[in-house]
Amino acid sequence: MVELGGVSTSLTAEEVEEVRRRLGREPTPVEAGMIDIMWSEHCSYKSSKRVLRILPRRGPRVLVGPGYDAGVVDIGDGWAIAFKIESHNHPSAIEPYNGAATGIGGIVRDILAVGARPIALLDPLRFGDPRKSDHAKWLLNYVVKGIADYGNCIGVPTVGGDIEFDESFETNCLVNVACIGIVRKDRIVKGEMRHPGDILILIGGSTGRDGIHGVTFASRPISERSEEDRPAVQIGDPFMEKLLIEAVLEVLSTGYVHGIKDLGGGGLTCCSSEMASKGGVGVDLFLENVHIREAGMHPYEYMLSESQERMMLVVDPKGVPTVLGILRKYGIPYSVVGRVTSSGRLRVFLLGQLVADLPPTILTEVYEPPRRAKRPAYLDEIRRKPKPPPYPDLEDAFLKLLASPNICSRAWVYRQYDHEVGDRTVVKPGDGDAAVLRLFEVPNKAIAITADCNSKHSFLDPFHGTAGAVAEAARNVTAVGAVPLAVTDGVNMGNPEKPEHYWQFKRAIYGLNYALRSLEIPCVGGNVSFYNEDERTGRAVKPTVFVVMLGLIEDLSYVRTMAFKQPGNYIVVVGRTYAECGGSEYFEEVLGFVGGRVPKFVPERERRSLLVVQEIIRADRCVAVHDVSKGGLAIAIAEMAIKGGFGVDADVARAPRARIRIDELLFSETHSRFVLECRPDDVKAAIAIAQLRGVPVRVIGRVTTEKCFVLRFGKRQLVNRDLVEISDLWERALPRIMHERYPP
């Protein structure tokens, strides 16, 4: 902690000197507090900006790119989709229920802040191993409850997500949340102030002392002192949020609102400085007008508070009476707190006293400290490990994987969410590789949305692990009948001041950039969360970059799910399997081996597989589709059988493959692969489409009426189990783990 302006800050000595140099004087206590939070990692992205700039941001459908509360993508017919991901890791690690709940509230307001109606939520999560840790169970239980209670109350369905368990997340769980919204192209607004004379109206929840220094708390590792930061975790009010959604959308429809922004991390300071900086204007704030919940607050507290359910409207003066009338109709508390000026200064007053006077750019154009990257030594140690021999009983390995926490059914989680409210959900959680939402505003169109990442792959190879997350997300939206449009990314890493962690971050972003540019998919926004590390042990989370991908379905007839549909249909594998079990569930869960060759992202291979499946779906030559990822080919086929309730008789020796062992053929997590179910009359046409594109494809078996799951390798029987047995194993694994202490 270094003192600046008479107050203790989280700034470094170099940053303090930079502030004094830019200002040419010592800041006031209020100014010092404002600079402190805006120069925090959480608000400033000071360690990540220079690397993130390499990502592709433009595309023919991109309407709003990075730098705003949400990215916006054109879907045609005058409509657009807004989507964004945010993290609430540190708050959730300390207070999981409210940390997760307020994460939902914040991400919903980000979507509102570009003028869109929120229509769906996703929750990519990471926890420690619940079989070994009561703490991991506690975090999982209350994070899920927090997401469920808040999302269910505001009437926005949670339709998908991603969950993985690993001991590296024991202390630092990762709670990322994403929201999707729909908006008319001519109704998009941005978080900017551009018109001097506009009036600033603060709406929603009252301002209190809760959440002060929340962003600085999120910009340092978890430690023994972290329990003292519990007051930095806000308490959400979903009922106020629901009123805000309806009131804001009606206010925006008047055309009088020139700008809008959520008061999230950094509160009033972040909101006012970013909007003024983007518009190149000044702003005067009058704190005595702010509606508060606690008497005697200091200006420092007003400016740093992160109280929830608050937004700022920038309103044309002639529209103020109309806007206030709508707010009163909905019972939304509000305060007229300031005005836009041409001064180029952010000035803060309390009862006529000037307590802060800064150029907005000193808050938004931060000092970017040099960071050093160094390849971690553990990677060399892992590479020297010889590949382990096959597990002696492949049927037992298959059953172990089905019941493992990272592969078993997630129904225990998503059944706590209302995933159908709003009546848009076409493909529900667990039914397909991505969620599908119908668009009432655009007849016969739908969107697909998914969130993907494999933290184990990224730990062994951040470049290909993250590139692989893009590939998996693209396969997932393709599998439900969509064409990938754009992504937003949620980056979760350790301490960037440590060269090894910064190397992981850089390699991950390079991999993300490589995959996005290879597949011609733009990145329209994202979030970076550093310092996900336990200071007491020095242990950081495995590198985790969630890829939230949006896909467009031009015709509802293209929608596909993963369940097998009809006995007698053929099982077709698209794509070749390679010996790429590094970071796989088979290596780590069954063999207890950390190492090996991670699945490699090969652009041309991935592009061709995606195009083939898209063409087969559009030609109506398949009735079910599932991508091959976690658990490999054997698990993908099993999930399709379980969901359909039909048996399987398949010879995996027929699947396209390199020269590999049988266990690798079953469980390798190689990219660019799909399993299709084709009607007998459609098989030749489907194969012809794949062959025309030069994609390996083979029929490996059939769907059967017998409730039996059979996998063979030629004449050698590998798995022969009752379908009811494997269904029970897969579906009940997570409830059995959680019910040891918690009811469903």
Beta bridge partners of 527: 490
Which of 366, 391, 423 terminates a domain? The answer is 366
Which of 314, 343, 366 terminates a domain? The answer is 366
Quick one: 349 and 404 in the same domain?
A: no
Residue located via tokens 């200071």 = 535
Domain count, the chain: 2
> Distance between CA 498 and CA 531 in Å, rounded?
10
Quick one: 682 and 732 in the same domain?
A: yes
Which of 313, 342, 366 terminates a domain? The answer is 366
Q: One-letter amino acid identity for 147?
A: I
Residue located via tokens 């400290």 = 369
Domain assignment of residue 122, yes or no: no
Structure tokens at 348: 């803060």
Domain assignment of residue 350, yes or no: yes
Number of other CB atoms surrounding residue 611 within 10 Å? 16
Domain assignment of residue 674, yes or no: yes
Quick one: 713 and 602 in the same domain?
A: yes
Quick one: 204 and 326 in the same domain?
A: yes
The whole-number pLDDT of residue 359 equals 96
> Distance between CA 635 and CA 648 in Å, rounded?
12
Q: What residues are labeled active site?
A: 42, 88
Domain assignment of residue 671, yes or no: yes
Quick one: 293 and 393 in the same domain?
A: no
Structure tokens at 151: 């999302």
Domain assignment of residue 642, yes or no: yes
Residue closest to 250 by CA, chosen among 331, 323, 191, 155: 323
* Contact by Cβ (8 Å): 43, 37: yes
Angle (CA) 277 279 281, round 5° = 75
470: Cβ contacts below 8 Å, ≥ 6 apart: 487, 512, 515, 516, 519, 521, 547, 549, 601
Quick one: 277 and 394 in the same domain?
A: no
Quick one: 201 and 274 in the same domain?
A: yes
Quick one: 213 and 236 in the same domain?
A: yes
Structure tokens at 150: 């808040």
Could you say which residues of the chain have pLDDT below 70?
211, 213-232, 740-744
- The number of CA neighbours under 13 Å toward the Cβ of 604 is 4
Domain assignment of residue 257, yes or no: yes
Quick one: 299 and 388 in the same domain?
A: no
Structure tokens at 651: 């010879």
The whole-number pLDDT of residue 505 equals 98
Structure tokens at 307: 């109280």
The whole-number pLDDT of residue 212 equals 76
Number of other CB atoms surrounding residue 343 within 10 Å? 15
Quick one: 707 and 731 in the same domain?
A: yes
Q: Give the CATH number, domain containing residue 612.
A: 3.90.650.10
Domain assignment of residue 255, yes or no: yes
Quick one: 207 and 326 in the same domain?
A: yes
The whole-number pLDDT of residue 742 equals 45
Quick one: 331 and 385 in the same domain?
A: no
Domain assignment of residue 48, yes or no: no
Range of the domain at 194: 190-366
